[in-house]
Structures are given as structure tokens and as C-alpha cells.
Structure 1
Amino acid sequence: MINPIDALLAEKGVLLADGATGTNLFGMGLEAGEAPELWNETAPEKITALHQNFVDAGADIILTNSFGGTRHRLKLHHAQDRVHELNKRAAEIARAVADKAGRKVIVAGSVGPTGELLVPLGAMTYDEAVEAFAEQIKGLKEGGAEIAWIETMSAPDEAKAAAQAAIDAGMPYTYTVSFDTAGRSMMGLAPKDIHGVSEGLPQGPVGVGANCGVGASDILSSLLDMTEARPDATVIVKGNCGIPEFRGTEIHYSGTPELMADYVRLAVDSGAKIIGGCCGTSFEHLAAMRKALDGHHKGERPTVEAIVERIGPLRNKTADQSGGTGESAEARRERRRSRA
């Protein structure tokens, strides 16, 4: 397997991943409840614009518009028989933008959770999960994605199934988990244990880390745990743009470009090798993040207290403060599904 991440890291030291897909597509007219993946066919010019704006803002890695591209998620939109074509098209659109960038831009095939629970908590078996992810990843690979970017996972076994599918397809892979429940994932995984998710697989990841969650301070706290556990690992952090707030029926994010720029500096100092933005991160935010990354030299490793002082308070407990998962798994699952 060719690992494009290590090659670009060798050149640049730290890489900038893109920002929010959903938030920016909503700004382009996507309706609540509509599947973004269908826009790969019905509004490809808008997906092209999404990627182009992130490349123009300085992204080194762009994620395909395929987060909900498994048959399980597409079934909600009566498109479960179109997995291959929709994922292939997602990769083709991103590939076309990357190829004309004038510099190396990695196309990462976004692979999100199925929305199903694996046995014994649910009905889906591990092998069925591998099969579903394989169907998606094969389409992404055929369309030109260079890496399987497994993201926003909660269950270690589901992340491992997606990783197995990537290996079977002959693709390098990364995986990131959302530590949104008392400093842990919904299924109880602590940040320090992220590196063990792929244990036993024939091929290891080319990067692991965290994305989404609740806010920049919390994800930076998780980052400290991940990099302390494995200082040599390529660790990814792709945090939300501040804290989500409801204003009427719309969600707004509190993060300013200045806050996200400082988040980048703290992420570098905390040992991250790939830094990006998740929900709420606009093209303007990413441009500020690019400028901060280019102008920053790695400094002293921060404490959680220093992060809070600069970025704002934690919204959750840290993983070492709570052995439980707070809100019930089913309640958190339903809340996250509603905002996906």
C-alpha cells in the first residue's frame, strides 16, 4: 500500500485537513434530512465548490462527500442500491479538484459509521459490517481516493471492521473516534486506548485520532492523552468549531477564526500531526488555521489548564475523571443520528 500521508508529512511536518462538510453544504442549500451523498450526482458543482474552497484555504487533505455512504445510511433515502456509484462519484469530484491544485492534495475517502449497533448490543455482525464498509470503500478507491478516512466512530469493533474492509481493498487507512461522552466515546473508549483499536489486523493505520465531539478544548484534552500514550504515532485531531448553540431552529458554532487559529497552535504543541476542523468549520476558519500553522513553531506541551485558559472551559469531564459514559448509549446514538 502506498502511504501518501507519510510522504507529505516528510515534506511539511504537520498537515492541514479540511473543515466541515455538512455545515458548509447546508449553507449551499442542503435541506435538513437530505442525504449529502445524493448531491454527488444532482449537484456536483456544489461539491466541487466545497472542495475547491477548502483547497484555496490551504487544505492538504480533502475528505470526499461520502460520510453516510454505506448501504445502511443510504437506505434511509432509498439509495441502498447505489452505494458503489455514489461513492465512486464522490471520489471522482474530489480527485478532479486535487489534481488541478498545483500542489499535492490528498484525497481521503470519508467513511462514517453505519448507524447500526454490532452484536451483542445490536443485530449487525462484525462480518456484515466489514461487507458494508467494503462495498463503500471499493467505490471510493475506484473513484480515485488514496486513503480510507474512517471517522466519527464510537464503537471500537465498528472502526476495526471498517479498517479490515480498507485492508481487504488494498487501501491505507486512518480512523478517528468521537470522544463526546464524559471524555470517552459513546461506547466507553478512552482516548489513550485509541491506538489499540486495530490490534490483530494484518495492516496498521497510517494515522489515528479524534474528530467531532463537543468543542475545541475537549478534543485538545483528548489529544494530550493520545499523544502521551504513543508519542511516535501520527495523531489526527479534527475538532468542532467551538460549541454548538441553538438559535431558534438553527445550530450555530461559537468558534471564531482567531479561536481556531489558537486551537491549531495548541494542537501542534500537543503533538498532533494532522489538524483540521469538523462541524461548523468554514472556509474562513480554515484559512486562519492555515496561516496559524504556517507561522507557528512547536512550543512547550500545554496542560489542560493552559488549554482552558486560552480556548475556553471543557464541556465534559476528562476521561480519567469518569469511568462511566454519562448519557446512555442509546440516547447519545439517537441524538448524534439526528444531527448527522
Structure 2
Amino acid sequence: MPDALTDMLASRDWILADGATGTNLFNMGLDSGDSPEMWNVEKQDNIRALYRGPVEAGSDLFLTNTFGGNASRLKLHQAQHRVAELNRAGAELGREIADKQSRKVIVAGSMGPTGEVMHPLGALTHDLAVEMFEEQAQALKDGGADVLWVETISAPEEYRAAAEAASRVGMPWCGTMSFDTAGRTMMGTTSADMVKLVGKLDPVAFGANCGVGASDLLRTVLGFTEAGAPKPVIAKGNAGIPKFVEGHIHYDGTPEVMADYAALARDCGARIIGGCCGTTPDHLRAMREALETRPKGDKPTLEEIEAKLGGYSSANDGTGDNLPPKRERRGRRRG
């Protein structure tokens, strides 16, 4: 049977995803360093509000508050034994909000990186990674998620482990990586590398999230399409560039800029378009209006993207010469 996301993709030219999780929870009072997943049981009204925000702004799909819900990440909060409880609760709250809508809204079970470095560079083996992802995936399925949403991954080995976990629990899945090191992930994967990786797996959709700014992310999306993307492409870019203002991280992307980003993302070939760090419901409303009212245009040039969204953080997209060395990465929370 086709899953809900596949059905929606079959009937729609584009799907509006949600925005930030961390940004919006910090605005509700979450303290830096605390586990957002705890709020799935301790402050459920806040999580309901988190989910309602993008839905009321026009999102067709939203992610659960479970990005750091694997045993490795929860161990940092002495909560590794609560994986099933916290993930199931996060998905159940999402199901509650989605089922109250008069239109179809998809609940995507967020699964972020483990935060560990995989073998052979680190101690995390494939089997252990699959085990952690499978525990989380099963809980999200039990809570009613429509699809698993693997995100902010840097290592292809971790991407494969999450894909295997999704298969083991019988769930459709999507997967995005973060290209934040001169057009590559911190473990060295390029947009073309990811296309090859996805060709060996079976996600419903794939793409990029987070990274640096919206310009960089769209350059990566162009890399996917130029390499022959075998599945629908996801674009979830940050709302501008983070700046430290009066003791807080502020993203400088306005709703108007994110509206331009959404239209450009569609023109670059993305089918699922949303925001990441810094993206609020106000941004999403502007993005929805742009997607609904602006006619589809030709594929933009890099110069056209730069003119509307700002400059790139590096001179190339990661596939040229003089590339930076690979660096280890321990994963970060989706903002």
C-alpha cells in the first residue's frame, strides 16, 4: 500500500514542510542544554502548540519533537531508558494535532544523528547504530507517525544504518544530510555522492537540511538534480545566517527572504520545501503564499540565487578542486 507521503507527492507539485523545532521551543522557554524530548511528557501543551504553529501557517507536513530521541543522545540526560516513552509521546501528540485538521497533514517522525562517530573512524558500529535507530523508529511507528524523517546526517554510514532500521520496522522514510563544509557534509559527502547513495536505498524522498544559509542549500539542491536525483528532493534551509544578538542567536532571514527561497527551491527542483533553524510560522506563511501565487520559473542560475538570498559561504559546491579536509562530526540539534 502506498504511504501517505507518496500519495501526497503523486497528487501535488510541491509540499510545504515545517520550520524550526529548537528555535520555536527556545521562544517558549526551553533552556539551552536541556532535552526538548522531555517536553513530550512534561509540557505537552507546549508541544501541541509547537505542532499547531506550522499547521496553522499552511504546512502539509511537520516533524515530531524527537530529533535527539535516540539512546545515545538521551544518555546525555540520563534518559537512555526512556527512548520508547519519549518518542511514542512525541508522535502521539503529532497524531492528535494532525487528525483534528480538515485537510491531510503528515506526521513525520524526526530521527537525528546519534552524535557518535561511526566505525572505522569511531567506536559506533553499524549494528549498534541500526539497533539505536530501530528502537526509536519502532516507538515513532507505535505513536502513529506516517513516515520516518532522518535528518542532519553527515556520514553515509549513519544514513545507511537509519535506512536499515526503517526497513526493519516496516516504515517509509525520508532522509536529509547537512552540507555545511564548503558544499560537503562534515564527513566529506557531496551532493553527487548522496545521489549515488540514495540510488542504492529506497527513501520516499531525500535532500538537504540546515547547513549554512539558504543560498548554499539551494546550490546543493541543484547538485542533486544535476546528478539525476532518483527520488523527490527535499529542501529545508535555515532562515538566513545565525548572528549573536544581545545574548541570543538570531537568524537574519525575513519572511520575505524565505518566500523568495521557497519559490527558488521549487524552481531548483525541490518537491518538499520547508525551513530549518530560525524558521517560524511567520516565515512559513510567507513561503506558502509564494508557492501558491508565484508561477513556476526556469531553473535559476547561481547568480540569480545569490542576488535574491545572499552570497555563498564558499567558492565551490564541494565537487571541485582545493577541497577542505574531512572532519569528524558529533551531530547537532535541528534548530
Aligned 1:116-135 pairs, distance under 5 A: 116-135=116-135
My pick for the range that moved more, 241-250 or 15-24, is 241-250
1:314 match: 312
Task: Name the CA distance, whole Å, in 2 between partners of 1:2 and 1:91.
Answer: 20
Q: Aligned pair in 2 of structure 1 residues 338, 70: CA closer, same or farther (>3 Å)?
A: closer
Query: SS where residue 102 of structure 2 aligns?
Result: coil
Q: Aligned pair in 2 of structure 1 residues 219, 200: CA closer, same or farther (>3 Å)?
A: closer
1:108 match: 108
**Structure 1 residues 139-159: Cα deviation after superposition (integer angstroms, max 9, x where no partner):** 000000011100000000101
Report % sequence identity: 54
Task: Name the CA distance, whole Å, in 2 between partners of 1:297 and 1:339.
Answer: 31
Task: Name the CA distance, whole Å, in 2 between partners of 1:118 and 1:314.
Answer: 30
Kindly state the Cα deviation for residue 249 of structure 1 after the two structures are TM-superposed.
2.8
Kindly state the Cα deviation for residue 227 of structure 1 after the two structures are TM-superposed.
1.1
TM-score (norm 2): 0.96
1:208 match: 206
Task: Name the CA distance, whole Å, in 1 between partners of 2:226 and 2:6.
Answer: 20
1:325 match: 324
The structure 2 residue matched to 1:302, chosen from 300, 303, 313, is 300
Residue identity matched to 1:313:
G
- Structure 1 stretches lacking a partner, 5+ long: none
2:257 match: 259
- Structure 2 stretches lacking a partner, 5+ long: none
Task: Name the CA distance, whole Å, in 2 between partners of 1:104 and 1:305.
Answer: 37
The structure 2 residue matched to 1:235, chosen from 233, 241, 248, is 233
Q: Alpha carbon RMSD of aligned pairs, Å?
A: 1.6
Higher RCO structure, 1 or 2 (CA under 8 Å, sep 6+): 2
TM-score (norm 1): 0.95
1:245 match: 243
| Preserved CA contact (<8 Å) 2:112 2:333 | no
Kindly state the Cα deviation for residue 228 of structure 1 after the two structures are TM-superposed.
1.4
Runs of 4 or more, structure 1, over 6 Å off, are none
| Preserved CA contact (<8 Å) 1:227 1:233 | no
Task: Name the CA distance, whole Å, in 2 between partners of 1:257 and 1:296.
Answer: 15
| Preserved CA contact (<8 Å) 1:19 1:277 | yes
Q: Aligned pair in 2 of structure 1 residues 337, 62: CA closer, same or farther (>3 Å)?
A: closer
Task: Name the CA distance, whole Å, in 1 between partners of 2:151 and 2:299.
Answer: 26
2:27 match: 27
Residue identity matched to 2:303:
E
2:60 match: 60
Q: Aligned pair in 2 of structure 1 residues 339, 196: CA closer, same or farther (>3 Å)?
A: closer
| Preserved CA contact (<8 Å) 1:23 1:281 | yes
Residue identity matched to 2:239:
C
Query: SS where residue 62 of structure 1 aligns?
Result: strand
2:187 match: 187
My pick for the range that moved more, 80-89 or 290-299, is 290-299
1:10 match: 10
